[in-house]
Amino acid sequence: MTVRDVAVEILLQIEKNQAYSNLLLNSMIKKHQVNSKDISLLTEIVYGTLQRRDTLDFYLEGFLKKAKKIEPWVRVLLRISVYQMVYLDRVPERAIFFEAVEIAKKRGHKGISSFVNGVLRSVQREGIPDLNVIKEPDERLSIKTSHPKWLVQKWIKQFGFDEAEKMCESNLLAPSQTARVNQIKKTVHEIISELQSKDISVEQGDLAVDAIKGMKGNLALTEAFSEGLLTIQDESSMLVARALNPKENETILDSCAAPGGKSTHIAELMKGTGIVHSLDLHEHKVKLIKQQADRLNLKNIQAETMDSRLAGDRFTKESFDRILVDAPCSGFGVIRRKPDIKYTKSQQDVLKLAELQKNILASVAPLLKSNGVLVYSTCTVDEEENRGVVETFLNEHQNFERDESAINNFPEKLHPYVHKGEVQLLPHYFETDGFYIACLRKKG
């Protein structure tokens, strides 16, 4: 199968089965033994086409008017072809046309291949339509950046038009790769010079003191990763354990812990002492926490499969020094990494998730000691989750208050975004994931 054959197959499965783009891409690369030089083109076509799906449909609309019903695979093929024509300078148009026609012949018949050829030739001849013909600003932003209109309208209401526009545009960029240094084993400077001596160019991160950035290629394949010196993690996520601020020998609950990014960070900050109880609802995901703890040689993590809404049946009241609720959320902060999120998540999902987050917080709150710290975090930017959930929690739990101590020690460049013990990072502020962190304390 050629790169474009595989791209059509992946995009079709995402559409039909709502498969996760990142997981499916990795498994298809393995299944079809895509060679390393083709992986970047495949990734670019799959993510680019997915990121710009609605824009591409808008471009194609005028050329498809006379067509009766278009089969899903034909639409996907046209989308990837127009994506390459419009956004990828280095791919010659004759290669795009030739491959599109070959795929259409293989998957369909001669009639379909002439149809595909005809549509693409018309796009080439007449050019793509100007997006400025869309008069309504919210509709134009929705089509231009390929975010559903309800979400664009919600973000305009929440952040204002300019901020919403910046966020939608930055969601189209490729995510950066950062890693956390396991500071039990090496300092950030030691790791940087070690990697540089192997011609891997890296530098210190911008926001988190544990971060290195700028690496190209797959970090999971490096020696430093398999030796447990590094964990791939976005810098915004690294701020969560710093906000929790665990101390050596403490007892910590991480109530939604898989795949273990933050549990392992907490365990590292405790230098392998004390205990981190890491819960997750799904058994297969709990295995991932154990794998990460083993890779990093962390003995102070105890991972268990459990619904954290039932944690009160398993643990005694007031038994934890600190609790983290890194909650299941809509994920609107990680659209760069998982573009499918913007098409699959609905406002109803947001409301359900906010309810689940409130229930998890309410269940774990009694397990925290007096003066203990509760951190609630999400990788979303949605106000009905995030701030809305914290406000409901504080109204219903008068024995809790906002806690500014740890979050005020964040690097100075974050200060404009820190307010009363909470921080909302949007992806365009520092090219990180969009992330929300709130620190609360149980009154003594």
Ligand X SMILES: C[S@@+](CC[C@H](N)C(=O)[O-])C[C@H]1O[C@@H](n2cnc3c(N)ncnc32)[C@H](O)[C@@H]1O
Residues placed in the known binding site: 256-262, 280, 307, 326
CB of 308 to ligand X, least distance (A): 4
Binding part of the chain for ligand X, among 43-51, 178-186, 305-313, 393-401 by CB under 6 A, reads: 305-313
Rounded alpha-carbon distances, angstroms, from residue 241 to 159, 235, 328: 27, 11, 17
CB closer to ligand X, 145 vs 380: 380
DSSP state, 239?
A: H
Judged by CB under 6 A, the residue of 44, 99, 235, 280 near ligand X is: 280
Q: Which residues are annotated as a binding site for S-adenosyl-L-methionine?
A: 256-262, 280, 307, 326
- Of the candidates 268, 376, 260, 271, the residue with the CA atom closest to the CA atom of residue 322: 376
Binders of ligand X in range 315-334 (CB under 6 A):
326, 328
CB of 74 to ligand X, least distance (A): 36
CB closer to ligand X, 153 vs 392: 392
Told to check if 312 binds ligand X by CB under 6 A, we report: no
Q: Which residue has the tokens 């544990």?
A: 210
Told to check if 345 binds ligand X by CB under 6 A, we report: no
What is d(CA 65, CA 61) in angstroms, rounded to the nearest whole number?
A: 6
What is d(CA 399, CA 119) in angstroms, rounded to the nearest whole number?
A: 65
Q: Please, are residues 368 and 401 in contact by the beta-carbon 8 Å criterion?
A: no
CB closer to ligand X, 50 vs 324: 324
Judged by CB under 6 A, the residue of 242, 262, 336, 442 near ligand X is: 262
Judged by CB under 6 A, the residue of 185, 186, 285, 337 near ligand X is: 285
Told to check if 257 binds ligand X by CB under 6 A, we report: yes
Phi, then psi, of 175 in degrees rounded to 5: -70, 155
Strand partners, 440: 374, 402
Based on the residue annotation, tell me whether 379 is a catalytic residue of this protein: yes
Binding part of the chain for ligand X, among 13-21, 72-80, 126-134, 260-268 by CB under 6 A, reads: 260-268
**Three-point CA angle 300, 304, 309, nearest 5°:** 120
What is d(CA 12, CA 370) in angstroms, rounded to the nearest whole number?
A: 52
Told to check if 406 binds ligand X by CB under 6 A, we report: no
Output Rg (C-alpha) for the chain, integer angstroms.
24
Strand partners, 439: 375
Told to check if 383 binds ligand X by CB under 6 A, we report: no
What is d(CA 426, CA 332) in angstroms, rounded to the nearest whole number?
A: 10
Told to check if 308 binds ligand X by CB under 6 A, we report: yes
Told to check if 279 binds ligand X by CB under 6 A, we report: yes
Judged by CB under 6 A, the residue of 188, 243, 256, 266 near ligand X is: 256
| Distance, first Cα to last Cα, the chain | 64
Q: Please, are residues 323 and 375 in contact by the beta-carbon 8 Å criterion?
A: yes
Told to check if 438 binds ligand X by CB under 6 A, we report: no
CB of 47 to ligand X, least distance (A): 21
Q: Which amino acid is residue 63, in one-letter code?
A: F
- Of the candidates 181, 297, 180, 321, the residue with the CA atom closest to the CA atom of residue 246: 321
Binding part of the chain for ligand X, among 22-30, 179-187, 214-222, 280-288 by CB under 6 A, reads: 280-288
- Of the candidates 296, 298, 326, 263, the residue with the CA atom closest to the CA atom of residue 181: 296
Q: Which residue has the tokens 């600003």?
A: 137
Judged by CB under 6 A, the residue of 205, 228, 246, 261 near ligand X is: 261
Binding part of the chain for ligand X, among 26-34, 105-113, 161-169, 258-266 by CB under 6 A, reads: 258-266
Contact residues toward ligand X (CB under 6 A) are 237, 256-262, 279-282, 285, 307-309, 326, 328, 360
Catalytic positions, written as ranges: 379
